[in-house]
Each structure stands twice: as structure tokens, then as C-alpha cells.
Structure 1
């Protein structure tokens, strides 16, 4: 008996595996190393991406392992087609001095996302600087934006994730919507001479607020280069095109949203993205990427106190015989089964 059950399960396995949903175009590679690359992005073959803007560089690193890059030097750790984000690693800017006040190390950061539909997320990222004698500046290459923050202290400050940056050893400032380039650098008023016993370097960086750990940026920190450099997670937002939904839908051959998907606007207010319609899930950029949700298979998310029946894009829930009401919200009455059982 157990043998027959096992044979039946093995015979079903290829069917289950073949129906697993894919986030890429047919015949295209789904991962570069450990990073999933969902459509509209693509790797290795340009036809796997929606356009040249979404064709990414998957190449071997120094250890010979495949690594995904945005541009030529920003390693990618995550891509979300649902949130419209790409998370990359960017090294921090820094300047360091010895006890005599002589500069020993300095690095300014400059990043350009190019002319494609990409921008730094103003809702996810925060510009941060650490140090006791640190003035950090952030601008864009178009010279349409500029900001600075000042971080001062006279004694060692313990960097804690529970306490936000207050200006004592750490400062932060937000960035505006739509930035496609950033430059950040540091300066000092007294070359760290008064605080050199515990703080000889200042750092400045853009970082994802969700993953930033200020506790890792203690004032005693010194530079590290190469693969162990102090890179922070930075979130880049993307849209399909810098068009309105009306403009996009007017050109049906270039419209990016698949079946059972609709055009949506990001918070940045620039361009459009796609999302699956209510009752569907999957990759909205693939032709048939949005598939019907079987709500009856997930009663915790889609409650039903009666008989659940899946429908296209929705589900119905009928109360048991002898009861009434909306089965999705709750049924009233004792029910014929309960009455008969109590007789």
C-alpha cells in the first residue's frame, strides 16, 4: 500500500513542478547568483528584458561567483517587481585624520543612475553622517538640489539603533523626489584634533531606513576597502516609462501591463508601473503573469464561515443550511444540522 502511494506521489511531482509560477520570460534565467531577476528585468540575453534600461549585468566576481550589478559597480541584493525597487550597495564617503590633524584618508562618492526610468527613493532612503567633527554635504550633478548636516560631539557617543540621530555623533537629512544622481562629501572644522582619541574619521552615506543599523557605525570606525568596504543598502525606484497611464494605454503594442493587470502611479509621481488586479497575484509585467487567487485555500486571509467557492478574481461564501448572513463576515442562526443533532 505504501509503495503504491509513493508511486502516485512521484508521478504527480513533475506536474506540480511544471505548474510552478515563473517571474521571467520563457527560456530566460531566473537568478544571478542568489538574486532573483524578475521581468521586466533580464540578464545574459537582451531579449529577456523589457528594454535596454532593464538589462542587467550578471558577471563573475573576484571569487568566480556570479554577481548582479546595476551599472558597472553597484552590486544588487534585491529586486521587487511589486514594489518597483532595486536595492544596491554603495560605499560610504569618508575623511580621516591622525592625532596631529593631518588628513590620512579621504573619499567622496558620486553616483549617476543614467537617463533611464530610475531614481533614488526619497521614502526609503535617508542621508546620514557620523563623526564628532563632521560636516556632510549632498548634492546632485544637475545642481538643482543641495543639503547638509552637521554632526558634533566632545566625548564618545555610543551609537544605538534605539535612538535616532540627534546631531551628537550622528546627523540625518531627507532627500527629495526624483533624484537621478547624488554626490556626497565631508569636511571638518578642526581636523578631529579635539576628539582624535576616540574619533578620527567621519562617514557620510545614503541608506535604506529599513536596514540601516546605526550601531554598526561607531565613532571608532576606520576605513576598509575592497570587498569588505563599508557599503550601505540604497533603494532605487523604477517605473516602466515616464508616461501617464493614458499615454501608455494609447500605444497597445508598447503597453507594459499584462492580462488581469492595471496601470498604477508610484509615490514619486513620475511615470507608471503595473499591478495585478484585485483577486489576482503574480508578475503584472508578464503577459499572463497575474493568476487568479484561490481564496478558499487561505481562510486566514479570506475568511468564510460557510461553504467557500472560488470565482475568477473573487470568491463566494454561503452560510450553512439554516443560517443566514454574509458568510465572509459571519453567519447567524443555529443551523439545521445543529437543531437536528440536538433532537
Structure 2
């Protein structure tokens, strides 16, 4: 049976191990806590989507009314974040945010023009009405899929009249096959100009529907839509089927900015939105968009939400591995770190440790050179002194001998 002292010792060791483990877990938890994205006291999530400030769920949680969103949990689908402007004919669902680029992603309905077996037509248009200070990004393309169909997009005259046209044709020589390229045969695409805000899309057949045409009988519907680059690739064997059965909406990239002023003006305003450790970026410099206003970004070496304030990145704890090889990482704000080298290593620079060798140490080589030079000089002087005194002694002896003989 263990003695009382042994049991006490085991208990103390267990407590020490528990404290050490708890301390380690707390430290790890602190390094894993992400920077807050929502305004303090506000909900940060709608379903699985993070809502970053200046956007917010409710007026008290957003910077301004145009950034106010609602979280719709009324459907059986995952909750969706929507704009709250009551003038919209239907909610605009947001699926992604980018604070760095001043962009967000919304879902847009697809315009359709279909014929049934008897030749009756059903036609549905599509529209996108954005709040003020938002524009449709030029990262989107305008697609038209179908046989002998004309598609048109139109921006309302209240925000500047603009229009665009796509025509997708059929050719008898192709039979029932389509090429993989979207070059006007069964599929056409064009780019989107900058500055579009309110857009409507419609399409119509150029020659009606011919049930006896084998090509048209296989592709009874035509489609028109705008979509963000990289989110749609024309594939003739699957695109028509997917658009007819599974794809009802497609993502569209939208630009946003803070206000209408450039950085040079905004920095002098009382409601300037970029907080500590941030920089101001003019919206017009991000791309070729002719957009006004500005956005905020964290300075290099900092992370977080620039509209709430960015904090220093502790590279020593946030990295998946120690950034210092053969050394100990030391965080050194602002936004930097250095390496304290282990024994046997030295700093090549603040962040790199290399094996220590006197052959690579310039100051040591200089010191050794000076020391060796000094030693050689001492030896030479000593030798010269010895030779001089030796010669003097010999002359003295010869002089003494001559005097004696005389």
C-alpha cells in the first residue's frame, strides 16, 4: 500500500499536469478566436453566412440603411440574407461578401422562353434592382442559350439608359449537335459594361417554334441571364437540361462602396469609416469600374474587419507551424515578427537562422585579422629589436677586444 506521502505526491503531480493542460488549451483557444466581423452586440451569422460590418441584420447593426439586411428563416431551405428595401419586387438574396474587394454575390433569376408540344409559348423575364451605391460588376457576362432567339438586357432610364443584345442562332448543317464553344450557335455571350444598376432581361424567338425542326424539338426552351465569371460553362449535352430542371438562379457579382467620396475627401469627414490600422482605397482603383466611393482594408500584417478596427497578426501563434526554423519566434508589432536563434545558430536576418560558423562571421573575421596582424607586427618588431641589440652587443665586444690588445 502506498504511503501517505506518495499519494500526496501523485495528487500534486496530477494537479500540476491538469493546470499545464488547461493553460495550453486556453492559449490555443485565444489564438484560434477569429476577429469579430459584426458590430458588437449584433448577430454575425445568417445560416452559414457571416454578415460583416458595415452590413448588419437590422438598422442598429448596419452602418447605413443601404447596408441593412434581413435574415429570412421562413422557408425550409437554409436561411437567406436579403436586402430590406421595400421597393424591390422580390428579395435579393446575398450569398457571399468580400470586404477586401468591395464586392458581394447575389442570386439572379434566369429569363426563359419555352414552347410546349403544341407550340404554345410561356415567357418569363428577369430583373435585378440594386440599392443606391451598388453596381453590377464587369466580372459578369451576359449569356443567351437557345435556337434562333434574341435576348436583350436594359437598364432603366432613371439611372442612365443602357442596353445590350445577344443572338443565338441554329444552323441546319449542325443537325442535332452543338459545338462546345459559346460563339453564337446555340449559345452567345457578351461582356457587361460598368455602371449598370437596375437591369431587366427578356428574350423572344426570331421565327416562332417549328415542331418539325429536329433541332428545335430537342431544345424547346431558350434562356438568358447574367452570371459571374467562373460560375457557368456552356456544355451542350448538360446545360439545357440543367437550366430546365435544376438551375433556377445563378450568382452575380455586385460592387459596393462607402459613400460617393474618394479617399482624399473622405479622410477629412467626420463619418470617415476606416478605423485603426487600416488604409483607404478608392473604389475606382480596384478595377476598371467607373465607380465612386471608397473601401477600407487592413494594413499588411493586420487582420480583422477594417470598419471595426484591425489587430496585429501574431505570426508566432496563428501559423500552422513555427515560422522560425532553428529559433524561437518573437512577435513584434506592428505586423511583424523576428527569430531568436537557438544555440549554434545566428541570424542571417531578423527572420532567418543559419548555422553559426566563424567563417561566416564578418566581425569575427575582422577581429581575427586585426589580432593576427597585430601579433605578426609584434613578432617582427621583436625580431628587429633582437637583431639590433644583437648587432650592438657584437660591436661592443669587438671594440673591447681591440682595446685590450693595444
TM-score range, shorter chain: 0.7 to 0.9
Q: Specify the alignment match of 1:219 in structure 2.
A: 240
Offset at residue 335 of structure 1 (A): 3.0
Q: Specify the alignment match of 2:357 in structure 1.
A: 335
Q: Specify the alignment match of 1:316 in structure 2.
A: 338
2:151 partner SS: strand
Residue 272 of structure 2: which of 249, 255, 260 is its match? 255
2:168 pairs with 1:151 = yes
Distance across 2 between alignment mates of 1:4 and 1:319: 30
Offset at residue 59 of structure 1 (A): 2.3
2:60 pairs with 1:47 = yes
Matches within 5 A, 1:290-301: 290-297=310-317, 298=319
Normalised by the length of structure 1, the TM-score is 0.81
Please list every run of 5 or more consecutive structure 2 residues that lacks an aligned counterpart in the other structure: 1-12, 85-89, 362-406
Distance across 2 between alignment mates of 1:4 and 1:300: 27
Residue 91 of structure 1: which of 85, 106, 109 is its match? 109
Offset at residue 293 of structure 1 (A): 1.5
Residue 258 of structure 2: which of 237, 240, 248 is its match? 240
Normalised by the length of structure 2, the TM-score is 0.70
Could you list the per-position Cα deviations for residues 61-108 of structure 1 after superposition, in whole angstroms to 9, with x for gaps in the alignment? Answer: 3328632113442222212222222211111001012355431x1111
Structure with the largest fraction of helix? 2
Please list every run of 5 or more consecutive structure 1 residues that lacks an aligned counterpart in the other structure: none
Residue 148 of structure 2: which of 128, 133, 138 is its match? 133
Distance across 1 between alignment mates of 2:322 and 2:232: 31
Distance across 2 between alignment mates of 1:219 and 1:134: 14
Out of 173-182 and 301-310, give the one that drifted further: 301-310
Out of 185-194 and 13-22, give the one that drifted further: 13-22
Distance across 2 between alignment mates of 1:158 and 1:3: 74
Offset at residue 247 of structure 1 (A): 1.5
Conserved? CA contact 2:68–2:83, under 8 Å: no
Distance across 2 between alignment mates of 1:207 and 1:61: 27
Structure 1 residues 51, 185: CA separation in 2 closer, same or farther (over 3 Å shift)? same
Q: Which of the pair has more CA radius of gyration?
A: 2
Conserved? CA contact 2:144–2:189, under 8 Å: yes
Residue 35 of structure 2: which of 11, 14, 21 is its match? 21
Distance across 2 between alignment mates of 1:229 and 1:250: 47
Structure 1 residues 5, 304: CA separation in 2 closer, same or farther (over 3 Å shift)? closer
Structure 1 residues 185, 197: CA separation in 2 closer, same or farther (over 3 Å shift)? same
Count of paired positions: 325
Distance across 2 between alignment mates of 1:65 and 1:323: 55
1:178 partner SS: coil
Q: Specify the alignment match of 2:129 in structure 1.
A: 112
Residue 227 of structure 2: which of 188, 204, 207 is its match? 207
User: How well do the aligned residues superpose, as a CA RMSD in angstroms?
Assistant: 3.4
Q: Specify the alignment match of 2:305 in structure 1.
A: 283
2:267 partner SS: helix
